[in-house]
Amino acid sequence: MGGILGVTELASLTICLNIHAFLFRVPLGMTEATSALLGNAIGANNVRLAKRFASLITKIVVTVITLLGAVTILARAAIVNFFTSSDNETLVGLTTQLMIVLSSCFMFDGMQAAMHGPIRALGLQKRASLIAITSYWLLGLPVAALLAFKCNMGVFGLMAGFAAAIILEFTAYAAILEPKTGKMSPTKLSQGFSKKGRFRKQKRT
């Protein structure tokens, strides 16, 4: 949709999405580490250790994501100059403003990405997939198109639609994780996993 708005708008959006993809590597790495740590603790039926890992990782993720977002906002002009010449004032000005929205989005996107670790460790992938489809395809895309073209907000409208999808996804992930991590006892956890194991064995036979 960015190509419909114009060459400058498309270039600005491309720069921002490349920066976002680069920053996203950090929470993605945290996701893999979280999934392994929590999965091992849950597999050993050590809920207390799993909760300690979850609490510690949450604090680390929030701190790191906040710092990355703040640095991106404060150094946005210098970062944009890596992608384009400072002589192109229109592109630099538009991208610099758009990066403020991007940094705000990244704080939610980074945290929801880190939630994928606990989601995989707890076996909630199916529910998480439905949330992701709903957030991006049923909310984010229509809202982005509406704001960009109907409300004449341009690339800011596209980014706002993206932000709406991310915030919904983050909120929904937190909602499905809270009961699992906050109220699950060791007995219920072992029973839940044993039932899943029996179900899978029966299905295979």
pLDDT tens string 147-187: 999 998 989 999 999 999 999 999 999 898 877 655 555 54
Please say if the pLDDT value at position 202 is more than 80: no
CB count in 10 Å sphere of residue 22: 10
Query: What pLDDT does residue 201 have?
Result: 45
Please say if the pLDDT value at position 194 is more than 50: no
Query: What pLDDT does residue 200 have?
Result: 45
Please say if the pLDDT value at position 131 is more than 90: yes
Query: What pLDDT does residue 138 have?
Result: 92
Do residues 53 and 41 make contact, with C-beta atoms less than 8 angstroms apart?
Answer: yes
Query: What pLDDT does residue 180 have?
Result: 62
Query: What pLDDT does residue 55 have?
Result: 83
Mean pLDDT over 6-14 rounds to 89
Q: For residue 51, what pLDDT band results from cuts at 50, 70 and 90?
A: confident
User: What is d(CA 174, CA 179) in angstroms, rounded to the nearest whole number?
Assistant: 9
Query: What pLDDT does residue 184 have?
Result: 52
Residues 6+ apart with CB under 8 A from 54: 34, 38, 118, 181
User: What is d(CA 145, CA 93) in angstroms, rounded to the nearest whole number?
Assistant: 23
Mean pLDDT over 25-53 rounds to 83
Residue 112's closest CA among 18, 181, 27? 27
Residue 140's closest CA among 154, 157, 117, 127? 157
pTM summary value? 0.77
Question: In percent, how much of the chain has pLDDT > 70?
Answer: 86
Choice between 118 and 153, residue whose per-residue pLDDT is larger: 153
Residues 6+ apart with CB under 8 A from 27: 61, 64, 65, 109, 110, 111, 113, 114
User: What is d(CA 53, CA 137) in angstroms, rounded to the nearest whole number?
Assistant: 33
Mean pLDDT over 121-128 rounds to 86
